Amino acid sequence: MKRTAEVDRKTRETDISVMLNLDGNGSARVDTGIGFLNHMLESLARHSGMDIAVRAKGDLHVDDHHTVEDVGLALGEAFRKALGDKRGITRFGWALCPMDEALARVSVDISGRPFCVCTLDLHLHQLGDMHASAVPEFFRAFSSAGGLTLHLDLLKGRNLHHAVEALFKALALALNQAVRAGNGESVPSTKGMLA
């Protein structure tokens, strides 16, 4: 059974289309209008093994917030849909990922219960054409729409680009582990369901 999904999300602020294949080869076709977000989503695809296609048009004349958050929501919804009833998945995943001086740790539970903790000291910085304060918003939106418990911790790091990229790569590795087959045909929960 193919674990794929397509999601279209259109609001007065954004118009987003996402295609996701959980069992891909890590390819990405991404155009959000935000160069740094494109780079992070390409990294997420490459290191998770998922194929990700995202096209987004947003009110970037205002700022990047709506586009970043809504891309997170659409990608999370596609992830949840592609998983189906979650039968046979490992469910949990975790990773440590270094990038030069930065070290990130991410843990994920595909629990159906959205919760996101992101410890990242951002201050008021830009990441190219994206404001750093949008990073936790992306993770919260992805967690919420995907039904994921996410803990994202920056353990070390001085360069903000390295820190955020290490978090995205660690998320990718944790997701790759969590969606893998590991429980035969059962749902990995004492409740018998993950919703």
pLDDT in tens, 106-118: 999 999 999 999 9
pLDDT on residue 144:
98
- Strand, helix or coil at 157? coil
- For the domain made up of 4-179, the CATH class stated in words is alpha beta
Residues 6+ apart with CB under 8 A from 192: none
The ranges assigned to domains in the chain are 4-179
Residue 110 corresponds to which tokens in the numbers above? Answer: 């595909």
Arithmetic mean of pLDDT, 54-65: 95
- Strand, helix or coil at 59? coil
Q: Give per-residue pLDDT as tens, 65-111.
A: 999 999 999 999 999 999 998 988 999 999 999 999 999 999 999 99
70/66 Cα distance (integer angstroms): 6
Which residue type is seen at 160?
L
For the sheet with 115-119, list strands across it.
Answer: 92-99, 102-109, 149-156, 115-119
Task: Write the DSSP symbol of residue 155.
Answer: E
Asked if 82 and 21 touch (Cβ cutoff 8 Å), the reply is yes
